């Protein structure tokens, strides 16, 4: 079925071997800018609504093994028509099946037929998270070993290892195909999205008695199209999204009055919600309440879906930011693979870190890629529009303003945006391949002046820095915020150097005579080429230091000592007890000479004197 598709041969082999959790046929990227502009695009709101409806019609069942799926299908079919089943496993030989029914009412029927082992020993919470126990009587007939026709492919919940990914990319036909394979192999798949929306559904059901109109929306990498497999889940709880005019209603609900301080009110609500998650909801563990953050959140782990979650209540601007990134990713097929390649490169060389701190984040790297794609190349137009262009194209139905006054209005129709980009291009539409775009990315930022200029996606141009932050990337929606404020001066300098190192290396690779048409024998060789070379961190780091780093001079003696030891009577030039310090690239110092010079300057007293100094790396 893949023969007529424009997909790399290796990717076809990977897909046909069913290496994904839930197998769905991927769409090949369009060959030209014009074909892409004419392709219908699903809006962000329609995508979210479709995923939410899938969650409404789904239950999650823990089973003994994948062999139980056929029996589970027969049992569930008694209560409604099963549309699909998706199997996955978690560490510890835990097996789960996500069952999707044709209708939402089917879920109500099967939940009404569910029970508890012992109500006296558990909190009797009704949720779509169940487990499938063995029948009381042994089956007299053998279960049919063949899978029901409605089942999706059932595969392990494993992402490819680094070695597997390297082998796939080494066998690709071109540099661009390597980038595409990286994206397809590591991005969030269909089952991952389903599990995230079902996790959000659990929170909705928990508070629906108090807030019948409650909505829990995923945002961030789980929905913007830039999420990788096993990414965290960001959630925002909206107690009431009803926007209809109720001024004519004569019956009014009695309700509690909110506190004057809105932040304090949110913190109290979040604390109560944290108790509900920790004490009542099945599968929720390791609950942490981070209420003093700029946006108060509750962090917890959903053990049944294997997802780390962050839950907030006042973060609609982040939802609209996810929508903006989704639209930009949908507007051109090259955007997401390019972002994945850059983020993987940063991870392999240690620029990013899973622990929050002074390092650049994946979100900041994504904005750097988007800003680069807004630039016009020498002979072709930009790949992406500026945010100001998207705002100017917004219609009356595109207006969005958050409760705290953040204007998030921009065009929501991806198809119309693509048509505008194709028709308004003053130069030739950009048709550069992924290889050219990636090389251009590193060349662009290797010469970018981060010390005086800031990144702004609003007008697609660098602007003077409004403050002295080492790295300034303006938040596209909340323009007064710097999304990279956490990045230190040292990390910014290292980022600039790594851009130069990689640009140099990619230039040398591109200059290789036969690199444009790699032979089959070369692809099977052990030597790396193309994108794979970027992920060989030790080799690249060593090469980079030889070019751009000044090597530190070796030292042959300690550089610092405790001066009080000079006043001991039995010293006789022994410096073996000097305080050890970290290896810092300074000139070697003769310890005996230093001791005699200090003795000639200082007069001993009866008081113990200790002088310590700390050398700082320049």
Number of H helices, E strands in the chain: 20, 11
The kind and range of the H/E element at 100 are strand 94-101
Question: Higher model confidence: residue 532 or residue 242?
Answer: 532
Residue ending a domain, among 525, 548, 571, is: 548
Shared domain for 84 and 49, answered yes or no, is yes
Query: Is pLDDT above 60 for 481?
Result: yes
Shared domain for 538 and 572, answered yes or no, is no
Least confident range of 346-355, 436-445, 463-472, 512-521: 512-521
Least confident range of 154-158, 168-172, 232-236, 566-570: 566-570
Shared domain for 37 and 73, answered yes or no, is yes
Long-range contacts of 208-214 (CB under 8 A, 24+ apart): 211/239, 211/240, 213/239, 213/240, 213/241, 213/242, 214/238, 214/239, 214/240
Residue ending a domain, among 317, 344, 363, is: 317
What digits encode the pLDDT tens for the residues 144-201? 444 454 455 555 456 788 888 888 888 888 889 999 999 999 999 999 999 999 999 9
Q: Is residue 171 part of a domain?
A: no
Quickly state the pLDDT bin for 478 (edges 50, 70, 90).
very high
What digits encode the pLDDT tens for the residues 21-41? 333 333 333 333 344 444 578
Question: Higher model confidence: residue 211 or residue 145?
Answer: 211
- Residues 445-470: what's their mean pLDDT? 93
- Residues 113-133: what's their mean pLDDT? 91
Shared domain for 105 and 130, answered yes or no, is yes
pLDDT of res. 131: 93
Query: Is pLDDT above 50 for 421?
Result: yes
Domain that holds residue 539: 334-548
pLDDT of res. 152: 52
Look at the alpha carbons of 348, 371, 481, 46 in this order and tell me if their dihedral is positive or negative. Answer: negative
Least confident range of 202-211, 253-262, 507-516: 507-516
pLDDT of res. 39: 58
Quickly state the pLDDT bin for 585 (edges 50, 70, 90).
very low
Extract the runs of DSSP E, i.e. beta strands, from 434-492.
453-454, 463-464
End-to-end CA distance of the chain: give it in Å, rounded: 60
* pTM value > 0.85: no
Shared domain for 413 and 516, answered yes or no, is yes
Question: Higher model confidence: residue 391 or residue 259?
Answer: 391
pLDDT of res. 158: 63
pLDDT of res. 137: 63
CATH number at residue 288: 3.30.460.10
pLDDT over 90, % of the chain? 52
Query: Is pLDDT above 90 for 63?
Result: yes
CATH number at residue 24: 3.30.70.330
Q: Distance (Å, rounded) from C-alpha 155 to C-alpha 153?
A: 6
Q: Is residue 38 part of a domain?
A: yes
Query: Is pLDDT above 70 for 477?
Result: yes
The mean pLDDT value of the chain amounts to 79
Q: Is residue 325 part of a domain?
A: no
Look at the alpha carbons of 368, 369, 374, 380 in this order and tell me if their dihedral is positive or negative. Answer: positive
Please tell me the total count of domains within the chain. Answer: 4
Shared domain for 579 and 496, answered yes or no, is no
540 neighbors 533 (Cβ within 8 angstroms): yes
pLDDT of res. 154: 53
Residue ending a domain, among 508, 533, 548, is: 548
Query: Is pLDDT above 80 for 444?
Result: yes
Shared domain for 410 and 484, answered yes or no, is yes
Contacts with 341 (C-beta within 8 Å, 6 or more apart), sequence order: 179, 182, 183, 434, 438, 531, 534
Shared domain for 129 and 98, answered yes or no, is yes
153 DSSP assignment: P
Shared domain for 352 and 475, answered yes or no, is yes
Shared domain for 600 and 515, answered yes or no, is no
Query: Is pLDDT above 60 for 516?
Result: no
pLDDT of res. 13: 43
pLDDT of res. 38: 44
Question: Higher model confidence: residue 547 or residue 402?
Answer: 402
pLDDT of res. 552: 41
Q: Is residue 251 part of a domain?
A: no
Q: Is residue 44 part of a domain?
A: yes
Q: Is residue 203 part of a domain?
A: yes
Query: Is pLDDT above 50 for 3?
Result: no
Q: Is residue 256 part of a domain?
A: no
Shared domain for 267 and 302, answered yes or no, is yes
Q: Is residue 175 part of a domain?
A: no
Quickly state the pLDDT bin for 429 (edges 50, 70, 90).
confident
Quote the crossing angle between the two packed helices 335-348 and 175-186, to the nearest 10°: 80
Least confident range of 76-85, 221-230, 322-331, 601-610: 601-610
Shared domain for 106 and 197, answered yes or no, is no
What digits encode the pLDDT tens for the residues 358-391? 999 999 999 999 999 998 776 688 999 999 999 9
Encoded tokens for 140: 């007299």
464 neighbors 452 (Cβ within 8 angstroms): yes
Spatial CA neighbour of 312 closest among 293, 295, 300: 295
């Amino acid at each position: 079925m893949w023969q007529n598709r424009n997909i790399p041969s290796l990717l076809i082999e990977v897909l046909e071997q069913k290496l994904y959790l839930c197998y769905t046929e991927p769409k090949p990227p369009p060959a030209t800018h014009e074909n892409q502009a004419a392709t219908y695009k699903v809006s962000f709101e329609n995508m979210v609504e479709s995923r939410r409806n899938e969650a409404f019609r789904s239950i999650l069942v823990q089973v003994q093994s994948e062999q139980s799926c056929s029996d589970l299908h027969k049992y569930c079919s008694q209560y409604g028509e099963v549309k699909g089943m998706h199997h996955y496993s978690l560490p510890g030989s835990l097996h789960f099946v996500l069952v999707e029914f044709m209708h939402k009412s089917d879920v109500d029927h099967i939940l009404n037929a569910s029970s508890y082992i012992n109500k006296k020993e558990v909190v009797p919470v009704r949720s779509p998270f169940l487990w499938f126990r063995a029948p009381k009587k042994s089956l007299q007939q053998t279960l049919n070993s063949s899978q029901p026709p409605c089942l999706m492919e059932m595969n392990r919940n494993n992402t490819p290892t680094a070695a597997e990914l390297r082998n796939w990319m080494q066998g690709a036909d071109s540099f661009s195909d390597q980038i595409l394979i990286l994206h397809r192999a590591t991005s969030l798949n269909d089952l991952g999205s389903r599990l995230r929306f079902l996790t959000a559904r659990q929170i909705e059901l928990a508070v629906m008695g108090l807030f019948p109109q409650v909505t829990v929306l995923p945002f961030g990498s789980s929905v913007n199209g830039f999420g990788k497999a096993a990414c965290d889940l960001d959630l925002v709880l909206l107690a009431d999204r009803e926007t209809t005019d109720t001024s004519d209603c004569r019956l009014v609900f009695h309700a509690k009055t909110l506190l004057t301080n809105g932040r304090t009110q949110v913190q109290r609500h979040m604390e109560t919600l944290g108790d509900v998650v920790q004490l009542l909801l099945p599968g929720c563990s390791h609950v942490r309440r981070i209420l003093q953050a700029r946006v108060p959140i509750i962090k917890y782990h959903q053990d049944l879906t294997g997802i780390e979650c962050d839950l907030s209540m006042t973060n609609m601007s982040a939802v609209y930011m996810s929508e903006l990134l989704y639209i930009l990713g949908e507007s051109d097929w090259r955007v997401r693979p390019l972002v994945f390649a850059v983020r993987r490169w940063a991870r392999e060389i240690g620029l990013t870190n899973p622990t929050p701190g002074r390092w650049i984040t994946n979100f900041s790297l994504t904005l750097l890629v988007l800003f680069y794609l807004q630039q016009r190349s020498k002979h072709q137009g930009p790949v992406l529009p500026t945010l100001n262009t998207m705002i100017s194209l917004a219609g009356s139905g595109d207006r969005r303003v958050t409760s705290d006054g953040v204007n998030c209005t921009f065009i929501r129709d991806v198809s119309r945006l693509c048509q505008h980009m194709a028709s308004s291009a003053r130069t030739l539409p950009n048709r550069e391949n992924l290889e050219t775009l990636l090389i251009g990315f590193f060349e662009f930022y290797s010469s970018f002046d981060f010390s005086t200029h800031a990144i702004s996606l609003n007008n697609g141009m660098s602007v003077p820095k409004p403050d002295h932050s080492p790295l300034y990337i303006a938040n596209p929606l909340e323009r007064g915020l710097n999304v990279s404020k956490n990045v230190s001066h040292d990390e910014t300098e290292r980022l600039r150097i790594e851009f130069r190192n990689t640009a140099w290396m990619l230039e040398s690779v591109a200059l290789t005579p036969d690199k444009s048409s790699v032979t089959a024998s070369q692809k099977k060789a052990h030597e790396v080429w193309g994108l794979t070379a970027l992920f060989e961190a030790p080799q690249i780091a060593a090469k980079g230091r030889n070019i751009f780093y000044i090597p530190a001079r070796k030292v042959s003696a300690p550089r610092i000592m405790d001066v009080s030891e000079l006043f001991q009577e039995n010293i006789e030039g022994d410096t073996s007890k000097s305080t050890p310090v970290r290896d810092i690239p300074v000139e070697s110092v003769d310890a005996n000479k230093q001791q005699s010079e200090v003795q000639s300057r200082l007069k001993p007293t009866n008081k113990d004197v200790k002088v310590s100094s700390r050398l700082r790396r320049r």
